[in-house]
Structure 1
Amino acid sequence: MRKSLLVIAAVVLAASLSAYAQNTGNIRYKWYDAQGLVHFSDSLTAEAMKYGYDLVNDRGLVVQRVPRQLTAAERVAANKLAAEQAAQKRAAQERANADAQMLAAYPDEESYRISLQQTLDTIDQQIHTSQINLRSQEKALTDLLGRAADLENAKNPVPKFLADSIAQQRNVVATLRDTLSRQQTLRSDTERQQVGQLAHYREVRTAQGQAAE
């Protein structure tokens, strides 16, 4: 199948070159082999296609250069490079679209700052809620530990249900402390990110203003 496609491609190329020759005069093919020896022919050969060739007119001038065929490794590398360039182009277009949407949503810096602050306010509300819950659960744990301590001081054994309740309450407190810690870290990270976001907003607005001038 692949060989058939190559044959078809060669026929199409030869036909195109034939039409080209009719418009530009007599055309010959010039190429160098693996040893660097120059060759001329009146028809396109497999060797010329392999090493690349020049189309030469009847005055000996090169009217077109056709590069050599790529090796399998070179084709892989070329396809990879093309894919990377296409990905970069898509990413650049996505950034441009995002920047355009940002400017449309926030036409001035004050409105953008308000949006950033709203994000922090939401996180602050979550932190405040976690702090209230944590204090409540810590108090419950303190009460359970106090009951257990009273029994021990009275030389009475601590019932299993009370020991289990203390263990469960400790897990609740530990989970809330972990949640609060993650929320506080998120706020710090968000605040740092917003410094960069604000700087980017200013750059985009400046660029837009310069483009409008």
Structure 2
Amino acid sequence: METINNLIKPSRLLLVTLLSLASVSLPVNAGKLYKWVDESGRVHYSDSMPPEDVRREHTYMDERGLTVNKVGAAKTQEEIEQQEALKRLQKEQQVLIKEQQAADRVLLRTFRSEDDILMARDGQLRAVDLSLQVINSNIRQLKSKLEEMQRNAASLELSGEAVSAEYLQRIDRKRQSLKESYQSIVHRERDKNRIRIAFARDLERFRVLKRLSRKPDDKLETAQSEEGLSNVYHCQGESRCEASWQAAKQYLHSHATTPVRMLAENILMTGQPVKAQDISVTMSRLTDSITRQTIIFMDLQCKDTPEGTAFCASEPVRQIRNGFNAAVAER
């Protein structure tokens, strides 16, 4: 028994000694040990970090040397701004995705097939064409009335009588109505373009959603640039537009077969067609009510009969329409 006690006593002494040494070797604030690498690449261990290294990446370790937490390097102002910009972009993308998903649901509820989309498009285009027919009919009436009023005014002047201010104002109002009608034609052509673009986009999206491929004989009508309209010229500057306006008037004299009935600062009009192969031309310089851009509009009309309509669709007349833009282009 005595021998056993003698063996235990040294072991207890050794344990106490080891614990004492451990308490001495541990930092004062045991459990708060940081590990980091400075700008020179040297590794440091300490219970506190210098102020100049606090923003660096560092590891928090416990008293056993095990990693408890790892703190990344503090972000720079530029990195913070980039992160915020990325968050905004992601949020915007989520909004766009939700909007697209909502639009897709509406598209699939509205149309059951490609033919449904094409029929809806053609219906809207026909409605615009009917509106254009009404406008063109009004233009014919306006031009006929203006021609009559111009003849009356000319007769009064030839007889030595003065044309009243009130009558001249009526003529001016008719001219303004004619110019507004031409502006309406340009706007309706824009409407047709928007319809074509919108339905072309819907058709392509419908095909994606339904996993359909384009048909070999598909002749989807595409949008036409408003600048590409053969009877509309868009001026590129007021000073240079004057030369184009003079060229437009010369173009009228070269191709109209009826005599000039009205000549004003911004409108030049020939008489109404009499024969089946007559060509009446009106040139009008307008300010687009939407874009505020100056445009030159050519109105070419034939006699309102089946023969006149056929003549207007002939190749010679088509060439007159198609050659207008090139003839008045600013050089």
Structure 1 141/60 Cα, relative in aligned 2: closer, same or farther at 3 Å? farther
Give yes or no for contact 2:139–2:178 (8 Å, CA) kept in 1.
yes
In the alignment, which of 92, 106, 130 is matched to residue 87 of structure 1? 92
In the alignment, which of 151, 161, 164 is matched to residue 159 of structure 1? 164
CA drift of 1:131 comes to 1.9
Tell me how far apart the structure 2 counterparts of residues 59 and 118 of structure 1 sit (CA, whole Å): 80
User: Which residue number in structure 2 is paired with residue 101 of structure 1?
Assistant: 106
Q: Taking structure 2 as the reference length, what is the TM-score of the superposition?
A: 0.48
Q: Taking structure 1 as the reference length, what is the TM-score of the superposition?
A: 0.71
CA drift of 1:34 comes to 3.5
Tell me how far apart the structure 2 counterparts of residues 122 and 45 of structure 1 sit (CA, whole Å): 78
User: Which residue number in structure 2 is paired with residue 113 of structure 1?
Assistant: 118
Greater RCO, 1 or 2 (C-alpha within 8 Å, sep 6+)? 1
The aligned amino acid for 1:108 is S
Q: Decide which structure has the larger Cα Rg and report it.
A: 2
Structure 1 120/192 Cα, relative in aligned 2: closer, same or farther at 3 Å? same
Give yes or no for contact 2:32–2:60 (8 Å, CA) kept in 1.
yes
CA drift of 1:58 comes to 7.6
The aligned amino acid for 1:191 is R
**Structure 1: tracts of 5 or more residues without a match:** 1-25, 208-213
Give yes or no for contact 1:33–1:47 (8 Å, CA) kept in 2.
no
**Structure 2: tracts of 5 or more residues without a match:** 1-30, 213-331
Between Structure 1 and Structure 2, how many residues are aligned? 182
Q: 122-131 vs 174-183, which deviates more? A: 122-131
The aligned amino acid for 2:138 is N
Tell me how far apart the structure 2 counterparts of residues 62 and 118 of structure 1 sit (CA, whole Å): 72
CA drift of 1:187 comes to 1.1
Secondary structure of the corresponding residue to residue 81 of structure 1: helix
Between Structure 1 and Structure 2, the one with more strand by share is: 2
User: Which residue number in structure 2 is paired with residue 145 of structure 1?
Assistant: 150
Q: How do 1:1-213 and structure 2 match up within 5 A?
A: 28-42=33-47, 49-55=54-60, 65-206=70-211
Between Structure 1 and Structure 2, the one with more helix by share is: 1
Secondary structure of the corresponding residue to residue 115 of structure 1: helix
CA drift of 1:180 comes to 1.0
Give yes or no for contact 1:103–1:205 (8 Å, CA) kept in 2.
no
Structure 1 160/112 Cα, relative in aligned 2: closer, same or farther at 3 Å? same
Query: Deviations 1:132-180 (Å, cap 9, x if unpaired)?
Result: 2222222222222121121123232221111111111111110111111
Q: 45-54 vs 70-79, which deviates more? A: 45-54
Secondary structure of the corresponding residue to residue 161 of structure 2: coil
The aligned amino acid for 1:84 is L
Tell me how far apart the structure 1 counterparts of residues 105 and 198 of structure 2 sit (CA, whole Å): 20
Tell me how far apart the structure 2 counterparts of residues 185 and 40 of structure 1 sit (CA, whole Å): 73
